[in-house]
Homo-oligomer: A and B are copies of this chain.
Amino acid sequence: MFDRVFVNAVDADGNPLNLAVREGRFAAIGPERPAIGGAEVVDLAGHLVLPGFVDGHIHLDKSFVGDRWRPHRHVTSLRERLAIEKQELASAGPIVERADALIRQAASFGTIAMRSHVDVDATTGLTNLHAVMEAREKWRGVVDIELVAFPQAGVVSCPGTAEVLDAAAREGAQVVGGIDPTTLDGDADGQLDIVFGIAEKRGVKIDIHLHEPEQQGIDQLHRIASRTRAAGLNGRVSVSHAYGLGDVAPEVVDRIAAALAEAGVSIMTNAPGDRAFPPILQLRAAGVRVFTGNDNIQDAWWPYGNGDMLQRAMLVGYRSGFYTDEELGVALHMATEAGAAVLGKSGYGLKVGNEATFVVVKAPNAAAAVAAVPADRAIVRSGQFWGESSRVQFKVTAAGVGSAG
């Protein structure tokens, strides 16, 4: 009846969980051990089973993972940072190889889907996008990768970028990006006209990097929320970082949170280490979808990160003062379900009929996994153990052996 049965696991709450697989899909999931029949039996030794992780914000074209270590250099301006980045990347290996190395590393931690921003501008055109598309192709069916055409150097202030953004959307970027419309472009409506225009024309989603602080950031969010409502893009617009939400008083957050929830604008935060960031629980309470991602990983912007979304969930919780199991569960939700919803990933999660893909973590429940970030894991894809790096060994009983029923 089943090809393989994974027994003796626990679910997010620490309750018994057994998973039966047929033809690579979940055929039964529940607390009771299913009828074994002629199936192969894998004893998961009481470990936790989680759905695969979703990295909602990564920059696959920037990372030096897979290349040599490059010490971070302090700068005094964004222009200087961009110049250093260009210089460092010019001497690094090809994007397709570095992107491949980072996807592999993320996958080894249990990531099964990601949204990658990719730099596009009038100078580089679609070079980076094409390279990341090539890396993405290698991972088709293993890691779902959604691509954002990201105008790192600005839109209005960087002539020719609007056309490149449009070309990127035409060539397969599923999301059009934006960045700091007021502080970088000095023309909020100018940038948003272009970004929303492309989204409507090409039927793509939107994800805007917003580092603008305090009330300036809040004003921008209100602008984005009204344009989203006006364009009927509910559920298709995200704002990444939205630092301003961490800078203002709770009652200001309440007002903008209501507007974001009504418009269906999602917020992405990576929980930065040394500056304020959005109050996650307050946004969620208002009905805003909040998701997370690793953002920069070992690149010219900063040295941190390793691609592990469980470490990211821990950092989200650590920075947010999440202590209870429920709060730790919110951090995990941001790295799983919420990200999957933003990406529109179909067939996601531990449900009968879905692809039998999951992560086994040596932890007694989800809260413990987020708090301690155990390295001991195994990845199962379509019912099969995946990768060289399974750090846990399990007892496997061959099909039909010792199976009484």
CA distance A345 to B203 in the complex (A): 64
Of the candidates B303, B324, B325, B391, the one whose C-beta lies within 8 Å of that of A368 is B303
8 Å CB interface, A55-99 against B: 68-69, 71-74
Residues of chain B contacted by A174 (CB below 8 angstroms):
none
- Count residues of A near B (Cβ-Cβ below 8 Å): 37
In the complex, the answer to whether B324 meets A71 with C-beta atoms within 8 Å is yes
Provide the A100-120 mask, 1 if CB < 8 A to any CB of B, else 0. 000000000000000000000
A348 CB within 8 Å of chain B = no
* A318 lies within 8 A of chain B by Cβ: yes
Q: Is the CB of B321 within 8 A of A274?
A: yes
Instruction: Render A293-336 as a binary contact track against B, CB cut-off 8 A, 1 for contact.
Output: 00000100011111000010011011111011100100000000
Binding site of A, secondary structure by majority: helix, strand, loop or mixed? loop
Q: Which residue of chain B is the closest to A373 with respect to CB atoms?
A: B306
Interface residue ranges, A against B (CB under 8 Å): 14, 68-69, 71-74, 273-274, 298, 302-306, 311, 314-315, 317-321, 323-325, 328, 364-365, 367-368, 371-375, 391
Would you call B367 and A71 a contact (CB within 8 A)? yes
Least distance between A204 CB and chain B CB atoms (Å): 33
**Is A274 a contact partner of B319 (Cβ separation < 8 A)?**
yes
A69's partner among B314, B323, B364 (CB-CB below 8 A) is B364
A69 & B304 in contact (Cβ 8 Å cutoff): no
Q: Verify A367–B319 contact, CB threshold 8 A.
A: no
Contact of A68 among B73, B304, B305, B364 (CB under 8 A): B364
Given A303-B368, A304-B314, A373-B306, A73:B298 Cβ within 8 A:
no
Contact between B320 and A367, CB atoms less than 8 A apart: no
A321 to chain B, nearest CB (A): 4
Per the bound structure, the CA–CA distance linking A375 and B306 in Å amounts to: 11
Give Cα distance in the complex from A273 to B364, angstroms: 24
* A103, chain B: closest CB distance, angstroms: 16
Q: How far is the CA of A53 from the CA of B314 in the complex (A)?
A: 22
* B320 A274 Cβ-Cβ under 8 A: yes
Residue in B closest to A274 when the chains form the complex, CB atoms = B321
B373 close to A324 (CB less than 8 A): no
Residue of B nearest to A68 (CB): B364
Q: Which residues of B contact A320 (CB under 8 A)?
A: 273-274
Once the chains bind, are B73 and A367 in contact (CB under 8 Å)?
no
A sample of 15 inter-chain contacts (CB < 8 A) reads: A68-B364, A69-B368, A72-B325, A74-B323, A74-B324, A273-B321, A274-B318, A274-B319, A274-B320, A298-B372, A304-B314, A304-B372, A306-B374, A311-B373, A375-B391
Complex contact A324–B68 (CB within 8 A)? no
When the two chains form their complex, are residues A323 and B306 in contact, meaning their CB atoms are under 8 A apart?
A: no
Distance (Å) between the CB of A372 and the closest chain B CB? 4
Residues of B within 8 A of A14 (CB): 69
Top 3 closest A-B pairs, CB basis? A375-B375, A273-B318, A274-B321
User: In the complex, are the beta carbons of A371 and B325 less than 8 A apart?
Assistant: no
Among A14, A298, A368, chain B packs the most CB atoms within 10 A around the CB of: A368
For the complex, what is the distance from the CA of A306 to the CA of B374, rounded to whole Å?
8
Taking a contact as CB atoms closer than 8 A, the residue among B321, B323, B372 that contacts A305 in the complex is: B372
Which residues of chain B are within 8 angstroms of A374 by Cβ–Cβ distance? 306
Indicate if the CB atoms of B69 and A303 lie closer than 8 Å.
Answer: no
Instruction: Establish whether residues B303 and A318, one from each chain, have CB atoms under 8 Å apart when the complex forms.
Output: no
Give complex CA distance A273, B303 in Å.
Answer: 19
Known: A69-B367, A303-B371, A391-B391. A318 touches B321 (CB 8 A): no
